Amino acid sequence: MSTKPKVLVAVQQMADREAPYLRPLEEAGLEVVRNRRGRPLTESELIDSLPGVFATLAWGEAYTARVFEHAKRLRVVARFGVGYDRIDISAATRHGVAIAMAFGANHESVADYTLALMLALAVDLVRHHEQVKRGEWITAFHPGFWGKTVGIVGLGRIGKAVVRRCRGFEMSVLAYDPEPDLAFARAHAVRVAPLETVLREADFVSLHLPLTPETAGFLNRERLSLMKPTAFLINTARGAVVDEDALYDALVKGRLAGAGLDAFAKEPPSGSPLLGLHQVVVGPHAGGSDEAAEVAMASRCVDSILAILRGEEPGPGLVLNPEVFAQHA
């Protein structure tokens, strides 16, 4: 039996594919163990997988207080992504586990996917595709995209990347953010405005908020009612920032033209009534998963794991709870 410290690669998409970015882990004397179940690990499966594990390359599995209580040798959870709503940060800190993030590695990918959802809705692409595949040849007018007004809710890395793309379509850009980057806004002709203004004026509202206790249900029934009936909602952030029942009601009653959703409160969203609506375009939370982002995120995770293995901090802003380093000094 191997006595090497282990790295659990929980990202099921990496189970069988060639992944040269993982080789530095083995070269450093770590044993790489992969999740071959074809799905995210359950809490019990994760606990059973953690004996002897120094670090995990984490995906959609939940890191609860119970997980950290059982993970005696775990020192790093390196998140393959930028969301951390499924990680109990307080529990991780109590148990001396650093939570390392892949910030800055996949925002361009998410922005590409966001624009793809916008364009699919704007040109009615899915309906046209289905009609032609059925043998129908019906040319109908669609809303269009060029020159429209887009509202960005959350002007962080991803929101800014979406802005740059929308400016290429000569769109008017509104943005709401609690702490907006005003220099960026000036440089890219973005009008920073109150949330209510953004919702009322935008033809496309694109959400780029992290999921926190404050943002859960952020786009509720009242706020959805502010949007124009001709407007589209895009969510490539987290499903729970939207009241999905209220969104469904708005769509079926014609108070909203459509939605592009790459995230749901429950994933996969089996049984969600939103899946039965023709004016909803959906994705499997794939916005940040293009090939370039895969390499960038995995490499950042590997670099963070190796830095902590050497007793070093990975870099400014990459660890959510840097106070754990003092515990192991």
| pLDDT tens digits, one per residue of 216-234 | 999 999 999 999 999 999 9
CB 65, CB 91: distance < 8 Å: yes
Q: Does residue 1 lie in a domain region? A: no
Determine the structural domain holding residue 184 and report its residue range: 107-282
Same domain, residue pair 267 and 128: yes
Q: Does residue 316 lie in a domain region? A: yes
Same domain, residue pair 55 and 133: no
Same domain, residue pair 259 and 298: no
Considering the candidates 238, 244, 294, 300, report the single residue annotated as catalytic: 238
- The answer to whether residue 285 is catalytic is yes
Considering the candidates 34, 75, 107, 285, report the single residue annotated as catalytic: 285
Same domain, residue pair 295 and 261: no
Considering the candidates 31, 43, 45, 267, report the single residue annotated as catalytic: 267
Is pLDDT at 314 greater than 90 in this prediction?
yes
- The answer to whether residue 267 is catalytic is yes
Q: How far apart are CA 206 and CA 112, in angstroms?
A: 13
- The answer to whether residue 238 is catalytic is yes
Query: Hey, what long-range contacts does 110-113 have (CB within 8 A, 24 or more apart)?
Result: 110/158, 110/161, 110/236, 110/287, 110/288, 111/158, 111/161, 111/162, 111/164, 111/165, 112/165, 112/287, 112/290, 113/236, 113/262, 113/283, 113/286, 113/287, 113/288
Please report, for the domain that includes residue 47, its CATH number: 3.40.50.720
Give 102-159 pLDDT, tens digit per residue.
998 899 999 999 999 999 999 999 999 999 999 999 888 999 999 999 999 999 999 9
Q: How far apart are CA 106 and CA 289, in angstroms?
A: 7
Give the pLDDT band of residue 163 (cuts 50, 70, 90).
very high
Burial 293-304 (b: 16+ CB within 10 A, else e): bbebbbbbbbbb
Q: Prior bond to 51 cis, omega within 30?
A: no
Residue 48 CB contacts under 8 Å (≥ 6 apart), including other chains: none
**How high is the mean pLDDT of the chain?**
95
Same domain, residue pair 24 and 86: yes
Q: Which of 250, 265, 282 is the last residue of a domain?
A: 282
Same domain, residue pair 144 and 156: yes
The dihedral formed by the CA atoms of 9, 14, 17 and 20, expressed in degrees to the nearest 10: -60
Question: Half-sphere exposure (CA, 13 Å, Cβ side) for 198?
Answer: 24
